[in-house]
Structure 1
Amino acid sequence: MYKTLLITLLAGIGLNVAQAQTDSAITPSSIKTLTLKQYADYQKGPTLESMALPATMNRYPMPDDVLRYKKELKLTPEQVTKVTAISKYLQLKKTEIGQSVLRNEKKLDDMFRSQKLDEGSITFYANRYGLYEGEYRTSVLLACYNTYNVLNPQQTTKFWQLKKP
């Protein structure tokens, strides 16, 4: 009897905890227009994959991918240093641009909430998104280009052989 009561009690607690947890994909963040998940994603910065497609589809590798295969590619210490620097710079740009998007989104939210806006302000802050996306895409594509230039032709060929699924 105590066992049944204990199981029932624990099941009830588990159900309450599950109901109390929020879904970050739909729960608003401190910026009304973003969910908690979107906010967290912007804090980390935008994803790389789609931004890199023109480069990667034409065999210009992402720096982090090259670093994963550094032993197999027999990268020299100098090459590892160069590709690591490219990767770190790209990560810095990713975070920086994500933070800029958050500040911009907050400004738009504040302007509409306070009703202190005009067409010029809306245009200015809305157009910033294109600038941020362009800056980030440039950083990603340059990272691929610069990584490609660090490798010799044999390493590039070997990389794409290793990368194939």
Structure 2
Amino acid sequence: MQHRQRHAPAEPHTGGGGVAQPYAGMEARGVEALSPQEVADLRAGRGMGLALPAELNRYPGPMHVLELADPLRLSPEQRRRMEGLVEAMRAEARPLGEGVIEAGGALDRLFATAQATPAAVMEASAAVGAARGSLRAAHLRYHPATRDALTPEQIGRYEELRGYTARR
């Protein structure tokens, strides 16, 4: 069974002799662990799938609820509530996203400057994990308020519109 890294290109590059080089071209990234799209998403406060535990378990996200406002028949009050939640979530998530970028850059620099020791790698990796955890929590914590603002019928319709029919 072949295992493919999530961040590796779909088709690995091959070097001389046909040897697969799945990371070729990634050395030019500013933060090697993050694609340019991921950096843009982090800076914009986008969720990037971080709230899937909520999303897939009947806790809709405010941004997706707004995207589906018409078929969900949101009231003006519900729309205002979702807009407020999205604004608050993005205001919280943007600086946390910058923290993820910064922590990832620090980890990269340990290796780029030949200063990687087991202890330094552990510390820098823990900082990346903490930054990502804080960002994930920031996205997840707006889902309960979103759910509370919707009727059970709207939640059911949301799940249908998003294609979440298997968990009923």
CA drift of 1:88 comes to 2.4
Structure 1 residue 41 corresponds to structure 2 residue 49: no
Number of equivalences: 138
- Which residue number corresponds to residue 88 of structure 1? 87
On the 8 A contact 1:43/1:98 being kept in 2, the answer is no
On the 8 A contact 2:104/2:128 being kept in 1, the answer is no
- Alignment partners' CA distance in 2, 1:113 and 1:139: 31
- Which residue number corresponds to residue 12 of structure 2? none
Deviations 1:78-117 (A, max 9, x none): 2111111222233344433332122122223334444456
Gaps of 5+ in 2: 1-23
- Alignment partners' CA distance in 2, 1:75 and 1:40: 31
CA drift of 1:64 comes to 1.6
Provide the secondary structure at the position in 2 that maps to 1:58.
coil
Report the residue type matching 1:147 in the other structure.
Answer: T
- Which residue number corresponds to residue 30 of structure 1? 30
Gaps of 5+ in 1: 1-24
CA drift of 1:142 comes to 1.5
On the 8 A contact 2:59/2:146 being kept in 1, the answer is yes
Report the residue type matching 1:53 in the other structure.
Answer: L
CA drift of 1:127 comes to 0.1
Moved more, 40-49 or 135-144: 40-49
Moved more, 129-138 or 113-122: 113-122
- Alignment partners' CA distance in 1, 2:84 and 2:117: 43
- Which residue number corresponds to residue 143 of structure 2? 144
**% identical aligned pairs:** 22
Structure 1 residue 153 corresponds to structure 2 residue 152: yes
- The two structures have a TM-score, normalised by structure 1, of 0.66
CA drift of 1:123 comes to 2.5
- Alignment partners' CA distance in 2, 1:137 and 1:162: 24
* Pairing 1:49-60 to 2, within 5 Å after superposition: 50-60=49-59
Residues 58 and 126 (structure 1), Cα distance of their counterparts in 2 relative to 1, 3 Å cut: same
Determine which structure has the larger helix proportion and give its number. 1
Provide the secondary structure at the position in 2 that maps to 1:30.
coil
CA drift of 1:118 comes to 5.3
CA drift of 1:119 comes to 4.8
CA drift of 1:48 comes to 3.3
On the 8 A contact 1:61/1:147 being kept in 2, the answer is yes
